[in-house]
Amino acid sequence: MNKTLYIIVLLLSLVGCKPTASVIVTSKEEAKSKGLYTEPQNTATLPKNNLKSTSKGIAETKKQESTKSKKTKISEPEDDYEPDNDGTSYFVKQLIHTALQYDGVRYRGGGTTPAGMDCSGLVFTVFKEFDITLPRSSNDMAKVGNKLKTSEIKKGDLVFFRTNGRKVINHVGLVTEVKDDEILFIHSSVQRGVIISSTKEPYYQRTFAQANRILSNELM
């Protein structure tokens, strides 16, 4: 009995001490095929297309931020002086340009500001901006300068009218353009405020009184 038990214990110890067969791997490919190696996954790496897209997005964002940070600058066109075909002087061009800035201003008796002005108020204000002081009323303005024939009228001259049915001059305008026998002038009318009208219009053709040259020939 003891001998049999001894034999069984001996056999069990021999089986437990049997060496395990070793696995030999000679390459990465062989390790992959045997399931012993797996390529590491780098989730932080972006595809090239995504990198380009991201870089472009960052650049656009920086450009937009840079644009927003810049102050908006309003610049006026710098047009050089170009002589008119009729030889209008630079001074007269500036005079007319100034008068046109009031186009659309409403009529106001005695007014001389953009809030409202009458006919002589418009002419008085425009010339005053060039340090030329004229009388305040159209009737008194008609007494200044030299009277002209219709054929002599040029840009920058003044045209006067009698619109009240009397002999007293009560309306004035500044000539802005001359077209053959038509004269365009800027003035302030009671109904429409500061506008450009024509001597071809029946009303002004009928009430026309005279034209005066206030400026010297050197300025014309």
Q: Is 171 assigned a catalytic role? A: yes
> Which of 142, 171, 172, 188 is the catalytic position?
171
Closest CA to 177 of 202, 159, 204, 203: 159
> Which of 119, 153, 214, 215 is the catalytic position?
119
> Which of 155, 162, 187, 213 is the catalytic position?
187
pTM confidence score: 0.63
Q: Is 187 assigned a catalytic role? A: yes
Q: What is the pLDDT along the chain (220 residues), one digit of tens a residue?
A: 555 555 554 554 444 444 444 445 455 565 566 565 565 555 444 454 544 444 555 555 555 554 444 444 444 445 555 656 778 999 999 999 999 999 999 999 999 999 999 999 999 999 999 999 999 999 999 999 999 999 999 999 999 999 998 889 999 999 999 998 899 999 999 999 999 999 999 999 999 999 999 999 889 9
pLDDT at 32: 61
